[in-house]
């Protein structure tokens, strides 16, 4: 189904971007001339690691290297080490939705500055300690794994305790995250073609190997194989939203602006106005590619099909620099109110058409930012990948400009009401 493929994301977002160039969005004005300032800002802060969950798990100090060294000392072979990282990274990404501005995580056994983390880093460090403690494993003798049996035992109370959630340390979307992990248990069991008969995420490696080819000494696999394992194997974990022919679409939303334009041109089916994002699936794909490449030396073909991630840091960068501006009055009677959100900051559900427009524009503008940075430094796509731009420039830049403009909260210019399954 087209809407569940990687190419569909960029293709359908490009249609929304075309509307923006004609001034035909419902909620945003678009000023492409201000993108140069975004590129200059990104260039001023850019470093070059790839965008993946590895960075967050190593917040403050290198933890993954320490794990690998311990596994080496225990004579764990490289393939099993890679499977363990796939286990960890997958569950960590699924926990990585906005935690809210009030939640923090203090790493056990540490005190002092730099040992308490918030947001994505806090969720990453927390998930690593949950993994090491065997919270996701059904094997008493082997804590370092994620499997269906272990996930089925998780409940809100266990998750809250492990992530240090309390009345004075509240987390947004805790129940949604917990439900996601429980549904993951069922998905792993139901899809042995991807996750094996012992139902663990790391067994995707066996599926990918079967889809790969040897090119001399190097094993090569197309990113579409990993995407298939994720989009098909995990389809049942997402909350029920839009369906098409009985198949849940996941992170796919209608865009009324597209419908208006298509009706003006020719009659369109409802699904022609749907815009796919699959943000968490994309974040998973970026995060799982890195350990496979790093530990096993495999190469992924087709990475050019991967898109930027349409989330509030990347998108917030565009709003804060004026590339996208909400039209006056368009949200006055629609936005939700919340005492924790500063006055003047819209608070919207992910399904809101303004959020759909914002996310679609973010996908295409991230491509344009990446191209601008490559031109500035005379670098090729292979030398400066989109994953590197996301990690070192746009995501980081969105966070830094938010903190500068809204120092009290550091939150985005548009607040998304999160249940922990989209952002």
Q: How is the chain split among helix, strand and coil, in percent rounded to 5?
A: 55, 10, 40
Q: Is 169 helix (H, G, I), strand (E, B) or coil?
A: strand
pLDDT of residue 344: 78
pLDDT digits (tens, 9 = 90+) for 321-341: 999 999 998 986 556 555 555
Average of per-residue pLDDT values in the chain: 91
Taking 80 as the threshold, does the pLDDT of residue 313 lie above it?
yes
pLDDT digits (tens, 9 = 90+) for 162-217: 999 999 999 988 888 899 999 999 999 999 999 999 999 999 999 999 999 999 99
With cut-offs at 50, 70 and 90, classify the pLDDT of residue 353: very high
* 319, 413 contact by CB (below 8 A): yes
d(CA 399, CA 324): 17
Is residue 150 classed exposed, middle or buried when 0-12, 13-18 and 19+ CB atoms within 10 A define those classes? buried
Question: What value, to the nearest 5°, has the Cα angle with vertex 59 and ends 99 and 162?
Answer: 50
With cut-offs at 50, 70 and 90, classify the pLDDT of residue 52: low
What is the pTM assigned to this prediction? 0.90
d(CA 410, CA 396): 12
What is the average pLDDT across 404-413? 93
Question: What value, to the nearest 5°, has the Cα angle with vertex 58 and ends 379 and 406?
Answer: 75
């Amino acid at each position: 189904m087209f809407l569940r493929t990687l190419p569909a994301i960029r293709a359908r977002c490009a249609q929304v971007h075309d509307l923006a160039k004609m001034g035909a969005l419902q909620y945003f004005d678009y000023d492409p001339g201000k993108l140069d300032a975004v590129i200059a800002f990104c260039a001023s802060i850019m470093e070059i690691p790839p965008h993946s969950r590895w960075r967050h798990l190593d917040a403050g100090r290198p933890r993954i290297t320490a794990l690998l060294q311990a596994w080496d000392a225990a004579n764990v072979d490289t393939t099993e080490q890679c499977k363990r990282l796939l286990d960890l990274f997958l569950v960590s990404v699924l926990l990585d939705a906005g935690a809210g501005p009030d939640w923090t995580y203090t790493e056990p056994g540490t005190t002092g500055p730099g040992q308490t983390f918030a947001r994505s880093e806090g969720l990453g460090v927390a998930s690593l300690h949950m993994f090491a403690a065997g919270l996701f494993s059904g094997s008493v003798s082997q804590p370092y794994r994620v499997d269906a049996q272990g996930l089925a035992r998780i409940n809100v109370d266990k998750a809250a305790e492990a992530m240090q959630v309390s009345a004075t340390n509240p987390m947004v979307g805790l129940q949604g995250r917990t439900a996601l992990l429980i549904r993951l248990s069922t998905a792993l069991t139901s899809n042995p073609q991807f996750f094996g008969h012992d139902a663990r995420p790391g067994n995707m490696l066996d599926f990918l190997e079967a889809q790969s080819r040897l090119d001399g000494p190097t094993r090569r696999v197309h990113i579409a194989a990993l995407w298939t394992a994720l989009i098909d194997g995990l389809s049942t974990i997402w909350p029920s939203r839009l369906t098409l022919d009985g198949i849940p679409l996941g992170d796919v939303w209608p865009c009324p602006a597209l419908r208006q334009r298509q009706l003006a041109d020719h009659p369109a089916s409802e699904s022609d106005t749907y815009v796919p994002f699959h943000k968490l699936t994309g974040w998973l794909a970026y995060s799982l590619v890195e350990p496979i490449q790093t530990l096993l030396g495999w190469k992924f073909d087709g990475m050019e099909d991967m898109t930027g991630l349409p989330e509030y840091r990347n998108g917030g960068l565009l709003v804060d620099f004026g590339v996208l501006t909400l039209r006056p009055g368009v949200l006055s009677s629609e936005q939700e109110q919340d005492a924790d959100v500063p006055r003047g900051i819209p608070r919207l559900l992910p399904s809101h058409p303004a959020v759909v427009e914002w996310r679609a524009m973010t996908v295409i503008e991230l491509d344009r930012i990446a191209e601008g940075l490559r031109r500035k430094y005379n670098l090729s796509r292979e030398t400066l990948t989109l994953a590197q731009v996301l990690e070192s420039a746009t995501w980081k830049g969105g966070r830094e400009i938010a903190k500068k403009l809204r120092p009290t909260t550091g939150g985005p210019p548009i607040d998304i009401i999160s249940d922990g399954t989209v952002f």
